[in-house]
Chain A
Amino acid sequence: MTPDALESLIRNSARDVLRYFERRVAQPADAADCLSEVLLVLWRDRSRVPDDPLEARLWMFGIARTTLAAAGRRSGRRSAEVERLRALLEATPTDLPADSEGLAIDLREAIAGLPEAQREVVQMHHWEGLPLVDIAAVVGTSPSTVRSRYAAARASLAQALAPYGVDV
């Protein structure tokens, strides 16, 4: 991928990747480190980034997924820019959605209790808005496997939400 195309990819997707990390890391500031890591990998592996913009975006999420596994364990020196982003993420409160707070919390806990492979599919589909076929590309498996995981996850979640009258 050319430097200009990679810059365009980063410009269009970096904020979404930061949100991806914000929703998953234990400490909000760690999302800044994770994003920086993804960007370094993108530049380092530029020759392997797909030329197609959609495929490149999914490739970027794939890097993010790998990076997430090591989140919070890095102790290397940070640039001033990353420190600034960390400070912003730490200082800015993120409120829960105003509606259905109790249900939202219980649902999030139910999602957290899913097997990892199912949880990942549910989160990427509903939190990042990725179609199931794109999630298959990100996690490196077949679309049918992702569909099966998603169906199983929905069944489990519906069961967990039965007390709220969710009947699927």
Chain B
Amino acid sequence: MDDRMLTRLLDVSAPATTDVDEVDTAVSAVARATRPRSTRRTLTAIAAGGALVLATGTAAAAGPQLLTHLGWFAEASTTQVASDGTQCAQGFRVAATPEIPPSPEALTIARDALLATDLDSIDISGVLEWLEPDVAAAEVVEGEPWSPTAASVEGLALYIALSERVREAVAAEGFDPQSIQLDAATECDGPLTVPVAP
């Protein structure tokens, strides 16, 4: 046997796969179910099963110790200008997803990544572009009409960009990024309460 024979043998060495029509149909169904159809679905995809809460708060000022009405201290926070021209705060913290408990190391890596990020200069332009169709199609969330304002959409984009950054940092160290979620609370242009569907 020669080099060509080895190539042919390698070509046929692949383990067989399930090549039946039903699988094609099932794959199409999974693809349809995965596509986000609204901002709410988008958030579901981002949270990937986690219990994301993006809620309005009543904090008086943004700072490292921003306490939200949800009862937790933000580990990182920033201020925005709401649509009425007032300053408003948005805070974030790293949390464990209930379905996939993370290792302590993964939580530390995620917190370090969050704290190392300058919330005022992180680039959210790509996320804003990505959100555009969802914002345009925003209808009803949890029975409440959502009228996106610049502040609320930018806050959402900041949340998504931060989530990606934190999870990328976790994945880069070999841990499961889906074991980490980012909680967010905002007092900018609420109400914007988006509990993620299971």
Interface residues of A (CB under 8 A from B): 3, 7, 10-11, 14-15, 18-19, 22-23, 28, 32, 35-37, 39-40, 43-48, 66, 70, 73-77, 79-82, 84-85, 88-89, 92, 94-97, 99-100, 103-104, 107-108, 111, 122-123, 125-127, 154, 157-158, 161, 164-168
**Interchain Cβ contacts under 8 Å between A and B, 14 examples:** A10-B31, A15-B24, A37-B48, A40-B48, A76-B100, A82-B33, A85-B30, A88-B23, A89-B23, A94-B15, A104-B13, A123-B14, A157-B6, A167-B1
Q: Is the CB of B14 within 8 A of A92?
A: no
Nearest chain B CB to A40 CB, angstrom units: 5
Known: A23-B15, A104-B12. A81 touches B26 (CB 8 A): yes
> B130 an interface residue at 8 Å Cβ cutoff?
yes
Q: Is the CB of A76 within 8 A of B48?
A: yes
Query: In whole angstroms, what is the CA distance A88 to B23 when docked?
Result: 7
Q: Is the CB of B127 within 8 A of A94?
A: no
Please name all residues of chain B whose beta carbon is closer than 8 Å to the beta carbon of A96 when the two chains form the complex. Answer: 15-16
Nearest chain B CB to A57 CB, angstrom units: 15
> B151 an interface residue at 8 Å Cβ cutoff?
no
The contact string, 1 if C-beta is below 8 Å from chain A, for chain B 159-198, is 0000010000001000010100000000000000000001
Interface size class of B (residues with CB under 8 A): 35 or more
Residue A82 contacts which of B14, B22, B30 (CB distance < 8 angstroms)? Answer: B30
CB nearest neighbor in A for B36? A43
Q: Is the CB of B1 within 8 A of A39?
A: no
> B20 an interface residue at 8 Å Cβ cutoff?
yes
Q: Is the CB of B23 within 8 A of A43?
A: no
Q: Is the CB of B27 within 8 A of A107?
A: no
Residues B1-40 near A (CB distance < 8 A): 1-3, 5-7, 9-18, 20, 22-24, 26-36
List the 10 closest pairs (A to B, CB-CB), nearest first: A76-B49, A127-B14, A39-B34, A47-B130, A47-B126, A126-B10, A85-B26, A94-B16, A76-B99, A81-B33
Most A-side CB within 10 Å, residue of B26, B46, B49: B26
- Extra A-B contacts (16), CB below 8 Å, given A11-B28, A43-B36: A37-B178, A39-B34, A47-B130, A48-B126, A70-B176, A73-B176, A75-B100, A76-B99, A88-B23, A95-B16, A100-B12, A107-B13, A111-B10, A126-B10, A154-B6, A168-B3
Nearest chain A CB to B11 CB, angstrom units: 5
Query: In whole angstroms, what is the CA distance A8 to B130 when docked?
Result: 17
Residue A7 contacts which of B23, B35, B99, B129 (CB distance < 8 angstroms)? Answer: B35
Query: In whole angstroms, what is the CA distance A161 to B3 when docked?
Result: 12
Q: Is the CB of A108 within 8 A of B34?
A: no
> B45 an interface residue at 8 Å Cβ cutoff?
yes
Q: Is the CB of B23 within 8 A of A126?
A: no
Please name all residues of chain A whose beta carbon is closer than 8 Å to the beta carbon of B34 when the two chains form the complex. Answer: 36, 39-40, 43
Q: Is the CB of A94 within 8 A of B17?
A: yes
> B133 an interface residue at 8 Å Cβ cutoff?
yes
Residue B30 contacts which of A35, A44, A108, A126 (CB distance < 8 angstroms)? Answer: A35
Nearest chain A CB to B189 CB, angstrom units: 23
